[in-house]
Amino acid sequence: MITPIHGWNDPRFDAVRQAFESNFAERGDVGAAVSIYLHGDPIVDLWGGWYDESRECEWDRNTLVNVYSSTKGLVAFCAHRLVEQGKLDLDAPVAEYWPEFAASGKQDIPVRWLLCHKAGMAAVKRELVTEDMFDWETMTSALAEQEPWWTPGEKHGYHAMTFGWLVGEVIRRIDGRSVGAYFREEFAAPLGLDAHIGAGPEFDARISTVIEPQIAAEFPPTSDLFGDPDSVGIVAVINPPVFNPGGPAIASRRDWRAAEIPAANGHATARALARIYGGAANGGRIDGVHVLDPETIERGIEEQTNGPDTCIGINTRFGLGWALTGESTPYGPNPRAFGHPGAGGSLGYADLDAGIGFGYAMNQMGTEVAHDPRCTVLIDALYESL
């Protein structure tokens, strides 16, 4: 079966199109899109393959897909907007904005530690079921009441799911809007982004079904793991259960799509990811619309953590909410590149030195923790073409 490829690219970047086509032929892509901005202008906007695993419907220009942790990068834009407005102090205790969070010895944890994964709150200690993560109050109250897994600030560990509820609740306490509403009204609407944290049923016809990788995974009962600090990385994704290895994707459920799970359930086009990061890389504006001030972005990409991650077992490097270019998240050759990958392979990033905004989204999830080979060939082709 011939894979349909659509869209356009500046002829200087034909190598990116060739790399995109090779992902279907050689790396197992089913449906995907890649979009790139350079100095505020689109230079690549390609999509292809199939919307569904049965390969009956084509992926089209407006297909949305769950981009998992690439959502965290969008949440970071929201937090930095509040910093820019003087409403959020990164060094203030979280409890200053969210008093209940002070319970169980957490009264001194600063906001910045939530954003850079040093808060020790990487998993929920109250035993949960899948449906609990669709209820904001259930998740935020569980986090507010518990003790950290490690001494806050002592080390860093990826807050795979809790990042969204923690940072999102700070945003809600300051602004009054949910993080999904804040992102929609402050960024998506003015910038023309087809990206959503909480997607209503009106989007279902455009949302591609995520295809989970066929891997075998068996975990001990969650209750056996709560007392073991070394188990936090496992608890983070099984309490509540986020993935269903070998079975139907939880991401295809209507209640998953509708909920605001700001660490993991953003639904977006690659174009939306490229556009917001393209604005960040273009002096903080895109088509004359404000994204963030350059000094806000520079503060956001100051390195906060770099080294072994206590939760996911690889070296990670974080600024404030964004993953910085590095060993596990290589975004090209330049030092001032930042963004966020998502489970399975999606990626949005900005390269301030080259003026690049990049977005990739797909439905066939890969098995790499952070560094997906499909993105690697696209990024390599991009920089070779500059």
Q: Quote the pLDDT of residue 18.
A: 98
Q: Quote the pLDDT of residue 386.
A: 97
Given the residues 69, 208, 231, 346, the one annotated as active site: 69
Residue 69 appears among annotated catalytic residues? yes
- CATH 3.40.710.10 describes domain 75-179+211-255: yes
Superfamily of domain 5-62+268-385: DD-peptidase/beta-lactamase superfamily (3.40.710.10)
Spatial separation of the C-alpha atoms in residues 99 and 46, rounded to whole Å: 47
> For the whole model, what pTM was predicted?
0.96
Q: Are 271 and 45 in contact (CB under 8 A)?
A: yes
Q: How sure is the predictor about 230, in pLDDT bands with cuts at 50, 70 and 90?
A: low
| Mean pLDDT (the chain, rounded) | 94
Equal CATH topology for 5-62+268-385 and 75-179+211-255: yes
Burial classification of residue 218, based on how many CB atoms lie within 10 Å of its CB (0-12 exposed, 13-18 middle, 19 or more buried)? exposed
Is the per-residue pLDDT at 50 higher than 80? yes
pLDDT, tens digit, 9 for 90 and up, residues 74-120:
999 999 999 999 999 999 999 999 999 999 999 999 999 999 999 99
- For the chain, what are the domain ranges? 5-62+268-385, 75-179+211-255
Q: How sure is the predictor about 246, in pLDDT bands with cuts at 50, 70 and 90?
A: low
Q: Quote the pLDDT of residue 229.
A: 57
Q: Quote the pLDDT of residue 205.
A: 97
pLDDT, tens digit, 9 for 90 and up, residues 320-374:
999 999 999 999 999 999 999 999 999 999 999 999 999 999 999 998 877 899 9
Q: Quote the pLDDT of residue 219.
A: 47
Is the per-residue pLDDT at 217 higher than 80? no
Q: Quote the pLDDT of residue 262.
A: 99
Is the per-residue pLDDT at 169 higher than 90? yes
